[in-house]
Amino acid sequence: MSEHPEDSSCEIPGGPPPDGRRHRQFDGEAWDGVSPRVYKLGGSSAPGAAWRDVARHTLAGGAGEPMAFQLRYFEIEPGGYSSLEKHRHVHTIVVLRGAGRAVVGREVFDVAPFDFVYVPPNVPHQFVNAGAETFGFLCPVDADRDPPQPLTTEEIHDLVGDPKVREVVRIAEDTGSGIRDPGSETHVVIARGAAPKQSP
Ligand code: MN
């Protein structure tokens, strides 16, 4: 699986086709008519902007539906993590599979299926796979939202000054290949890692 960052300002349109379907069956890997996409494209080489092995499934929103939110499902493979970022819009997540850790400011939560996490506005956060299986969670989000911001050096310094955060948080130092996406839509991630690892 490839890995690439972005900031959400250049999120590729991820909604399902506006085909009016009321039901999408899940086949064990994806939903009918919803292609898993890369988590983020383009982006920044700022510390904390790196991410690894994350796929995004957008189930609703962004395809002309009359709704003010998007319903997304993310999967993070073993060893993977989302970018360490902050933004004004909130996150609410519900875990559906696997084991993860959520960094929310200076708090670290071990999460398991059906656990819920709330990320308040402007609080740095990161989701990390903490197990040997895929970590999957629902993450509905405002359709109209501000793009994620990388943390300042001071913010990162402050976070890693806390031993329990430092133990969990993943920052760019070990993620060179995750820092920049070549920007091609050909990098569609197929969830659950059948694809060989790519070096961008
Ligand atoms: Mn976020």
User: Could you tell me the distance, in angstroms and rounded to a whole number, from the CA of residue 149 to the centre of ligand 1?
Assistant: 9
Within 45-109, residue ranges assigned H as helices are: none
Measured between alpha carbons, how far apart are the two ends of the chain, in Å?
A: 11
User: Could you tell me the distance, in angstroms and rounded to a whole number, from the CA of residue 94 to the centre of ligand 1?
Assistant: 14
- pLDDT computed for residue 1 by the predictor: 37
113, pLDDT greater than 60: yes
User: Could you tell me the distance, in angstroms and rounded to a whole number, from the CA of residue 151 to the centre of ligand 1?
Assistant: 12
Identify which has the larger pLDDT, 68 or 197: 68
Mean per-residue pLDDT over the chain, rounded: 80
Residues tagged active-site: 139
User: Could you tell me the distance, in angstroms and rounded to a whole number, from the CA of residue 84 to the centre of ligand 1?
Assistant: 8
Those residues with Cβ within 8 angstroms of residue 53's Cβ, 6 or more apart along the chain or in another chain = 1, 3, 76, 77, 78, 79, 80, 129, 193
Domains of the chain: 8-16+27-178 (2.60.120.10)
39, pLDDT greater than 70: yes
User: Could you tell me the distance, in angstroms and rounded to a whole number, from the CA of residue 113 to the centre of ligand 1?
Assistant: 20
User: Could you tell me the distance, in angstroms and rounded to a whole number, from the CA of residue 124 to the centre of ligand 1?
Assistant: 8
145-194: pLDDT as tens digits:
999 998 998 999 999 999 999 999 998 644 433 333 333 322 223 223 33
19, pLDDT greater than 50: yes
Region of poorest pLDDT, from 18-22, 42-46, 166-170 = 42-46
- pLDDT computed for residue 192 by the predictor: 31
pLDDT bin (cut points 50, 70, 90) of residue 63 is confident
| Average pLDDT of span 38-60 | 80
Task: Return the structure tokens found at 180.
Answer: 């920049």
Region of poorest pLDDT, from 13-17, 21-25, 41-45 = 13-17
User: Could you tell me the distance, in angstroms and rounded to a whole number, from the CA of residue 74 to the centre of ligand 1?
Assistant: 12
Residue 72: Cβ within 10 Å count: 22
- For the whole prediction, is pTM greater than 0.85? no
Q: What is the per-residue DSSP string for 120-176?
A: -TT--EEEEE-SSS-EEEE--EESS-PPPBPPPHHHHHHHHTSHHHHTT---GGG-G
Those residues with Cβ within 8 angstroms of residue 42's Cβ, 6 or more apart along the chain or in another chain = 4, 5, 6, 7, 10, 180, 181, 183
58, pLDDT greater than 90: yes
16, pLDDT greater than 60: no
> What is the rounded distance in angstroms from the CA atom of residue 115 to the CA atom of residue 95?
6
User: Could you tell me the distance, in angstroms and rounded to a whole number, from the CA of residue 148 to the centre of ligand 1?
Assistant: 6
